[in-house]
Structure 1
Amino acid sequence: MHNELIHIGPLTIYGYGLMIAIGILIAYKVVAYRAASRQVELSHVSSLTFWSLLGGLVGAKLLFWITQMNHIIQDPSMVLNFSEGFVVYGGIIGGIGVGYTYCNKKKLNFLKYLDLFVPSLALAQGFGRIGCLLAGCCYGEETEGWFGITFHDSELAPNDVKLIPTQILESVLSFSIFILLIYIAGRKRPTGLIAGLYLILYSLGRFIIEFFRGDIIRGQFGALATSQWIALAVVLLTCIVFLTRTQKKMAT
């Protein structure tokens, strides 16, 4: 895999950045199309996309700094590197948090808009993990099995050894979740179901995939990685919210 795809004079187009850009563009097109079919005001969709992306970037960077605090204390210059070092869960939390703030300020139904956006979020993540594969980050453990990939010129992944392609696994997971959510979204369902399914399905899938990750620059608490603890918390909180909403509806 080669991260440096195209050189145009002093300009270099990197595979990771290109896949992120493609993912965001296609994801926005999908959410805009679905918003139009549901007669949702496009101005709110555009604003939510912008602010959620900004919140996601900040959240992803902040969580990375938190998980790498020991290394940052030893080398404070790490905080000046804005080209790499992001944690997906930080992006999800940051993006959803900013989206909630926007909807609350504009007096919009937050769960309705979250249902609208999360299929596109899964779609963008699918493309993003292809970018990870091109860059060589988020790689898996060494393997002797048939399901492996070997890097020969990577600055991040170990070269000339077969690795479990965790990037491909998570990309397939994300694309599958997108297809499932789009299918369910076309049917009658309670508000918030799409968002809840995304949070649970992605978290469970991510929890399992983390066991096969081999990159060492990740937070670790006890026997589990930071992302696994967050995944468990997300599943638990989502189930609690679902049960609380169900009980309230039954009570009324």
Structure 2
Amino acid sequence: MLLGSVPQLDRVAIHLGPFPIYWYGVIIGSGVLLGLWLATRESDRLGIPKDTFIDLVLIAVPIAILCARAYYVIFEWGYYSQHPIEIVRIRQGGLAIHGGLIGAVLTGIVFAKKRGLSFWKLADIAAPSILLGQAIGRWGNFMNQEAHGGEVTRQFLENLHLPQFIINQMYIDGVYYQPTFLYESLWNFAGVILLLFLRKVNLRRGELFFTYLIWYSIGRFFIEGLRTDSLMLGPLRIAQVISIAIIIVSIIFIVVRRKMGYADKRYSEQ
């Protein structure tokens, strides 16, 4: 597709009759499937039936999407209260990862209790998969030309040695923007590598999940400061406030669980 003289990628992957299938959904779905593949491999190695994570994903993903949308709508209620029909239209984006994470964690707690499993063990196994899904999912934002930073020049982007298709896609309404989606995606991919390495370290149970929360939140805090589409609460960027809170709470949980003896088991123990 051409906008002006800059070639850009089409948001629509394919048309099934009159119904367009957007790249946003394709990419998000691909992230979920790759994350599930990674989790089922590890759960099988640790003696947990593969069907466990398949069942969990079938329940958690729809709930996480609903919570991610609800979170976004709540903080943009000034707009959606005037355009209620837009609430259900998520193909153009509008999913907040913190809302999805809340929904997924609550679902995982209930799921683990009903299955008689350790939530912390499931959370540790799932941590790299969740971060992998987030890393891939940011490319859905890229296709939608959203979650970007402030205005920059084309020369700035070329100085980053980015492929031309990324530079061109960052040309929106006559202006080039900083590719914050890419910064976060790369940060998340690096986090996946870290978490996979830490599996071998055999941390105490639950701490791999908290490491994921801390790693993601550090990156999100700094990258959020570059974005132009942040959800706001007065003068505060909500994602930055939540990120700081998650880091603090995660550290507290690690310390308290160790002192109280709740983290005596190791990651690989049955």
| 1:200 corresponds to | 214
In structure 1, the partner of 2:267 is none
Cα gap change, 1:170 to 1:86, in 2 (>3 Å): same
Gap runs ≥5 in structure 2 = 1-8, 265-270
Q: Which residue of the partner structure matches residue 241 of structure 1?
A: 253
What is the alpha-carbon distance in structure 1 between the residues aligned to residue 172 and residue 95 of structure 2?
Answer: 20
- Mark the runs of 5 or more structure 1 residues left unpaired by the alignment: none
Quote the residue 1:221 is aligned against. 233
Partner residue in 1 for 2:110? 101
Within the alignment, does 1:180 sit opposite 2:194 as a pair? yes
Deviates more, 1:54-63 or 1:4-13: 4-13
Partner of 1:131: 140
Distance in 2 separating the partners of 1:15 and 1:82: 12
Question: What corresponds to 2:62 in structure 1?
Answer: 54
When normalised by structure 2's length, the TM-score is 0.84
Please say if residues 149 and 180 of structure 2, whose CA atoms lie closer than 8 Å, have aligned partners that are also in contact.
Answer: yes
CA distance in 2, matches of 1:20, 1:196: 23
- Which of residues 28, 35, 42 is equivalent to 1:20? 28
1:74-153 equivalent positions in 2, closer than 5 A? 74-83=82-91, 84-144=93-153, 145=156, 146-147=159-160, 150-151=167-168
Deviations 1:93-151 (A, max 9, x none): 11111101111222210100000001001111111111111121212111233348555
What is the rounded CA distance, in whole Å, between the counterparts of 2:236 and 2:167 in structure 1? 26
1:64 aligns with 72
Following the alignment from structure 1 to structure 2, what is the Cα–Cα distance between the partners of residues 142 and 127? 24
CA distance in 2 between counterparts of 1:75 and 1:3 reads: 23
Deviates more, 1:66-75 or 1:29-38: 66-75
The one-letter amino acid of 1:79's match is I
CA distance in 2, matches of 1:194, 1:160: 44
Q: Which amino acid aligns with 1:224?
A: L
Say if 1:151 and 1:160, in contact at 8 Å, map to a contact too. no
Residue number among 34, 53, 57 corresponding to 2:42 in the alignment? 34
> Is residue 170–residue 206 contact of structure 1 (8 Å, CA) maintained in 2?
yes
Q: Give me the whole-angstrom Cα distance separating, in 2, the residues matched to 1:99 and 1:10.
A: 37
Residue 11 of structure 1 deviates from its aligned partner by 4.4
Aligned residue number for residue 159 of structure 1: 173
Superposed CA deviations along residues 21-42 of structure 1, whole A, max 9, x for unmatched, are 2111111111111111111122
Q: 1:141 is aligned with what amino acid? A: G
Whole-Å separation in 2 of the counterparts to 1:30 and 1:150:
31
What is the distance in 2 between the residues matched to 1:24 and 1:72?
28
By how many angstroms is 1:68 displaced?
Answer: 0.8
Percent identity (aligned): 27
Distance 2:205 2:51 in 1: 21
Q: What amino acid is aligned across from residue 229 of structure 1 in structure 2? A: V
User: 1:27 is aligned with what amino acid?
Assistant: G
- TM-score, normalised via structure 1 length: 0.89
Matched positions, count: 246
Q: Helix, strand or coil: the match of 1:13?
A: strand
8 Å Cα contact 1:65-1:72 kept in structure 2: yes
Residue 20 (structure 1) shift: 1.1
Letter of the structure 2 residue corresponding to residue 23 of structure 1: G
